[in-house]
Structure 1
Amino acid sequence: MHWIALQWSLEAQAEAGAATAAAADAMPTPEALGWWALRYTPHVCWLDEALMLEVSACERLWGGRSSLMRQLLNENPVPAAAVLRGAQGATSLEALARLRLFVREEKRPPEIPAGLPLDTLSAAREHLDALARLGCRSWGEVAALPRGGLSRRFGAELRAALDIAWGLRPESHAWLTLPDVFEQKLELPALAETAPELMWSANRLLSALQIWLRARQRGARALELEWTLDLKRFNGVNLPPTQQIAVRTAEPTQDLAHLRRLLSEKLALATLAAPASWLKLRSLETDPWAGASTSFLPEDNRKGDKLHEMVERLSVRLGAMQVLVPRARADHRVEHTQAWQPALRTVQPDQPASSKARRETQAAAFQPDAIYPPWLLPQPLLLEMDGERPCYGGPLSKLIGPQRIEAGWWGGKEDGGQPAMRDYYVAESPEAGLLWIFRERPSARFSAGEVRWYLQGFYA
């Protein structure tokens, strides 16, 4: 058996209080630190103040004990302001005792475990005064006492701990496991009266979420932050026990900075019904994580935020209906081929598109002879006439056309209104450049009237 004891300390830095406070702000929860250690060995547990790793069965996979210790110290999941200390031993009690000596900057005794100071054994701490009066100040001196008298006077726990230290009794621990769904709850250090105040503690939960996502090899798609209200009634109004907000992303992500920005923007728009005392973060949807994809071309590896990340932040900040994206529709009437919807969809991201939606998109996209401009007006604009020539920034010159369209005769008002019988042209304006215009063609069933021209879109 071989054990490694790890401990994180925020007080070891002699820097200003701001550095320590920033480290505590992003300090993962103890459960998350255990999840991080599970990547090195399946045998991980908390023992008093230290995280214990039993690595005898897997240390060779990491290149030996020294190589494994270096990796643990180099891949510290806690910010740089928190120092990670480690010690090793044949048993968990020995590794923990040596870690405590290292923290106190004391030299290890020549004999292990007999020479270890008695105050480094957790089971002996409540009996230190009595054992000192007996002249016992080390593990070996206590172990030399008669077994029966030691157990009767100081309890069976101390004798059992000494047996474990000398390998006379097997160790038993409750090993940590990785949950299938992330859900972490945290008590706030003080009552939060505004939603942005929750972000300080939410950072710890986000750090734990990132560790869980990496351990599970998943990417977050939807999260829910919930806070518990400290009051049940305020100003004569009954309050719900909790409030919550949900955050969604267009693509699976493990980026802690992006999730923090999204959550911060969402909290800035929230209002607390009463002061909050607890905070809980849970994962609603996750996808398998494929990892980052890079390119050999320098222009494909630009620094900065991705487009979908910027769209998500703007949608949260300005409102979902203020950031829209086009959606293709199957209709030969040009003003009906495109619909606008919020960039942050309200439907479940994992929900597959319906067969009708797929047919509409494919039908709208498959038009081999289409010469549609990149920018279409929501509604056609009636053009002024100069004699028989339409005008827009001057008289227009027709370059390409006509492209005849007759559609909409099969539907009524609920299907988009009147039928469309049109001749489309690509025209050039002296001031606006290339335009897409059309003229209405009267039905053969009615007498011909005045010809009207409309602007449908812009090419430049």
Structure 2
Amino acid sequence: MHWIALQWSLDAQAEAGAATAAADAMPTPEALGWWALRYTPHVCWLDEALMLEVSACERLWGGRSSLMRQLLNENPVPATAVLRGAQGATSLEALARLRLFVREEKRPPEIPAGLPLDTLSAAREHLDALARLGCRSWGEVAALPRGGLSRRFGAELRAALDIAWGLRPESHAWLTLPDVFEQKLELPALAETAPELMWSANRLLSALQIWLRARQRGARALELEWTLDLKRFNGVNLPPTQQIAVRTAEPTQDLAHLRRLLSEKLALATLAAPASWLKLRSLETDPWAGASTSFLPEDNRKGDKLHEMVERLSVRLGAMQVLVPRARADHRAEHTQAWQPALRTVQPDQPAPSKARRETQAEASQPDAIYPPWLLPQPLLLEMDGERPCYGGPLSKLIGPQRIEAGWWGGKEDGGQPAMRDYYVAESPEAGLLWIFRERPLARFSAGEVRWYLQGFYA
């Protein structure tokens, strides 16, 4: 068996502002355990230290020294927090050596017999009594009669010494990685405004990033919930909690982007009462394929990605203020697309579209080559010069007809009346190339007035 003990502490020489920021960004203890699961499946917390049992996997990391360097170099805590580590044959020995390292004391020549008694957790409540017996090290206590030691100081101290000398197996509650991220913490002080929640939300976001990397997932939807400290305010009953949801167009592990989205959302929120607890939960995640980069410099431009900017604007201005076109399976030109919010609020349990629906959407998203780049919102009725339509002069038909019959399946709620049209590319003496169509009568042999419409312009 071989154990590694790790402990994080804030840098005493750091400035007060930097130390406070580091404390706010410090991941939760559970999240630090998730980070350690990258190196070994046997991870647990023992008092103030995170313990890793690495005897079965240390060779995969190039040996003990190489593994220790990787742990120190890949510290998940901000730079102002110092990571200290120590090793030992048992968890108690590694923890004791870590405590000596933190106190800047030298390692005794004999391990574990020479270790100071105050580095053993099971002996701390009996230090005064053991000191009067002349015992100041692990070895001196272990030399006492077993029966008398257990009767006077309890079986826990004797069991700890047996573990330290390898006479009894260790038993620990190993950490596991949950399937869904959900972390809760108590605020250091009551938050009266929503932006104040970001100070504590940073810790939860740091834990979320560790969980996403360990699970190899990308976040698509998150929910931040806070507990209200009052049940009634100004004579109005209050709900126990309030929450906001944040969604992204693409899976992401970018902590800075999630922090900006959450900050924008909180800036628009209003707390019904002071908040005392904060909880972050993952609503939807997708498998993370990783980030791909290109050797071409123009493909690796600095700055925010387009979808990240659109998401921030949607949160800041409102979902209905930032719209994107969506193709529709309809051959009527004025109904081939619809506008929807760029940041879609799709529920995580909504089923995925069927294969037939995806194929229909794919066909609808492929515009016809004859379509002009500029379409009118509604067709414009053209004047007639005899039998020729006019727009800036009589029109000359160049290409056509392209015949469509669409809209027969619905009524006004589905886009209006059915359309029976013949489309042409025509040339105007003043306006250039136009896209026009002629309405065909609904009855095959009906003789009525032929009406021509202007649908779009060519550049």
Q: Given the two structures, how large is their TM-score scaled by the length of structure 1?
A: 0.88
Residues 33/379 of structure 1: CA separation in 2 closer, same or farther (3 Å cut): same
1:17 shift after superposition: 2.9
Alignment deviations for residues 149-188 of structure 1 (CA, whole Å, 9 cap, x no partner) = 2222222222222221122222111111111111111000
1:51 shift after superposition: 0.4
1:458 shift after superposition: 4.8
Residues 356/388 of structure 1: CA separation in 2 closer, same or farther (3 Å cut): farther
CA distance in 1, matches of 2:136, 2:294: 63
The aligned runs of 1:343-422 (5 Å cut-off) are: 343-348=342-347, 351-355=350-354, 358=357, 361-362=360-361, 364-365=363-364, 370-381=369-380, 400=399, 403-408=402-407, 411-422=410-421
CA distance in 1, matches of 2:430, 2:115: 90
CA distance in 2, matches of 1:210, 1:363: 34
Q: Gapped runs of 5+ residues in structure 1?
A: none
Answer whether contact 2:10 2:19 (CA < 8 A) is retained.
no
1:412 shift after superposition: 3.5
The CA RMSD measured in Å over matched residues stands at 3.2
CA distance in 2, matches of 1:421, 1:41: 69
Answer whether contact 1:115 1:139 (CA < 8 A) is retained.
yes
Greater shift, 10-19 or 358-367, is seen at: 358-367
Alignment deviations for residues 322-349 of structure 1 (CA, whole Å, 9 cap, x no partner) = 1222222222211111111222223336
CA distance in 1, matches of 2:389, 2:131: 106
Residues 16/193 of structure 1: CA separation in 2 closer, same or farther (3 Å cut): closer
CA distance in 1, matches of 2:214, 2:186: 25
CA distance in 2, matches of 1:249, 1:338: 23
Q: Gapped runs of 5+ residues in structure 2?
A: none
Greater shift, 54-63 or 152-161, is seen at: 152-161
What's the secondary structure of 1:226's corresponding residue?
Answer: strand
1:14 shift after superposition: 3.2
Greater shift, 143-152 or 438-447, is seen at: 438-447
Answer whether contact 1:206 1:256 (CA < 8 A) is retained.
yes
Residues 205/411 of structure 1: CA separation in 2 closer, same or farther (3 Å cut): closer
Alignment deviations for residues 47-93 of structure 1 (CA, whole Å, 9 cap, x no partner) = 11100111111111111100000010011111111110000111111
How many aligned positions are there? 459
Sequence identity of aligned pairs in percent?
98
Residues 403/182 of structure 1: CA separation in 2 closer, same or farther (3 Å cut): same
Answer whether contact 1:5 1:50 (CA < 8 A) is retained.
yes
Residues 153/430 of structure 1: CA separation in 2 closer, same or farther (3 Å cut): farther
CA distance in 2, matches of 1:369, 1:179: 49
1:189 shift after superposition: 0.5
1:108 shift after superposition: 0.8
Alignment deviations for residues 364-392 of structure 1 (CA, whole Å, 9 cap, x no partner) = 53878641134434333567899999898
Residues 245/396 of structure 1: CA separation in 2 closer, same or farther (3 Å cut): farther
Greater shift, 352-361 or 306-315, is seen at: 352-361
Residues 267/437 of structure 1: CA separation in 2 closer, same or farther (3 Å cut): farther
Greater shift, 99-108 or 280-289, is seen at: 280-289
Answer whether contact 1:218 1:289 (CA < 8 A) is retained.
yes
Answer whether contact 2:22 2:80 (CA < 8 A) is retained.
yes
1:359 shift after superposition: 6.6
Answer whether contact 1:331 1:364 (CA < 8 A) is retained.
no
CA distance in 2, matches of 1:431, 1:33: 71
Q: Given the two structures, how large is their TM-score scaled by the length of structure 2?
A: 0.89
Residues 368/93 of structure 1: CA separation in 2 closer, same or farther (3 Å cut): closer
Alignment deviations for residues 191-239 of structure 1 (CA, whole Å, 9 cap, x no partner) = 1111111111111111111111111112222211111110111111111
Residues 392/231 of structure 1: CA separation in 2 closer, same or farther (3 Å cut): farther
